[in-house]
Structure 1
Amino acid sequence: MPDNYEIKKNIISLQKVKDTDVYHMELNVISWFHKPDKLDIRGWSDDHTKMTKGISLTEDEFIKIAHAGLEKIGGR
């Protein structure tokens, strides 16, 4: 694993959309460059050596975005 990130905890891993896909989406608690942990959403290869572009949020940012998204689509 590179020194620029450490996956501290996996929250959820989604299945690949197709068997031929290289990446699957994950929500992880991750530390980038030894900085404070963030919630991170991005695609990962099965062995975590490759990743797609993604987004890293503080817990507060994640909660605000999740609540706004749920309100927009009619959830609670």
Structure 2
Amino acid sequence: MNKISYEVVEHLAVLSETPKGWKKELNLVSWNNRPPKFDIREWSPDHTKMSKGLTFNNDELAQLKKVLSEIDV
């Protein structure tokens, strides 16, 4: 199995934090030296471990923003 490389290019926001210190974050992440994408997932306190997450390109994030703005929360 190939190792996945990543670089958090820009930290954008912490959405929540668990009692054990894991944080759900919105970041701009480059996966396997590819152009960075917007990424939402939980990270361990030292960013060495992560949960499964969701990645979005610019168009997908713009569409998500539009949909979220139309939802009454």
In the superposition, the TM-score normalised over structure 2's length comes to: 0.83
Deviations 1:12-51 (A, max 9, x none): 123414x2x3421100011000011100000001100111
Alignment RMSD (CA, Å): 1.9
In the superposition, the TM-score normalised over structure 1's length comes to: 0.80
Q: Extract structure 1 runs of 4+ deviating beyond 2 A.
A: none
Q: Residue 73 of structure 1: SS of its match in structure 2? A: coil
Q: Which 10-residue stretch deviates more, 8-17 or 50-59? A: 8-17
Could you list the runs of 5+ residues in structure 1 that have no partner in the other structure? none
Matches within 5 A, 1:40-55: 40-55=39-54
> What corresponds to 1:8 in structure 2?
9
Identical pairs, percent: 35
